[in-house]
Structure 1
Amino acid sequence: MNPEDPLAQLKDIHLPETGGWWPPAPGWWVLAALCLIALIALVWAWQRHRARTAWKRQAKAELATLSQQMCNDPAWYGDLNRLLKRVARQTHQNRYPESMTGDEWAAFLLETLPKDRIASRPTAEALVAAAWQPKPAIAPRNALAFASLWLEAQL
Structure 2
Amino acid sequence: MQTQGLPSLGNSTQQDPLAQLRDIHVPEAVSIWPLDWGWWCLAIVVLIVVVWSYRTIRHYVRFNKPRKQALAQLTGISVDQKDWPVAINTLVKRTALSYFPHQDVAHLHAEAWVSFLSSRLKKDIDQVEKGLRLLQHNTYRPTPNRDDFAQCMHSVQLWLKKAQFPKHYDAKSAVPSSGSTPSSSKHQEQREITHA
TM-score by shorter chain over 0.5: yes
Residue in structure 1 matching 2:106, options 88, 98, 108: 98
The structure with the largest alpha-carbon Rg is 2
Residue in structure 2 matching 1:56, options 67, 79, 91: 67
Supply the distance in 1 between the matched residues of 2:46 and 2:129 (Cα, whole angstroms).
55
Q: Following TM superposition, by how much is the alpha carbon of 1:61 offset from its aligned partner in structure 2, in angstroms?
A: 0.8
Secondary structure of the residue aligned to 2:76 is helix
Q: CA RMSD in A?
A: 3.9
Contact 1:72 1:136 survives alignment (8 Å): no
CA pair 95-112 structure 1, distance change in 2 beyond 3 A: farther
CA pair 47-116 structure 1, distance change in 2 beyond 3 A: closer
Contact 2:67 2:160 survives alignment (8 Å): no
**What is the match of residue 19 of structure 1?**
29
CA pair 118-51 structure 1, distance change in 2 beyond 3 A: closer
**What is the match of residue 84 of structure 1?**
92
Number of aligned residue pairs: 150
Percent identity (aligned):
17
CA pair 53-146 structure 1, distance change in 2 beyond 3 A: closer
- Unpaired segments of 5 or more residues in structure 1? none
Contact 2:85 2:139 survives alignment (8 Å): yes
User: Does residue 129 of structure 1 match 2:137?
Assistant: yes
**Runs of 4 or more consecutive aligned structure 1 residues displaced over 6 Å after TM superposition:** none
TM-score computed with the length of structure 2 as normaliser:
0.56
CA pair 54-24 structure 1, distance change in 2 beyond 3 A: same
After TM superposition, list the pairs within 5 Å mapping 1:20-35 onto structure 2.
Answer: 24-27=32-35
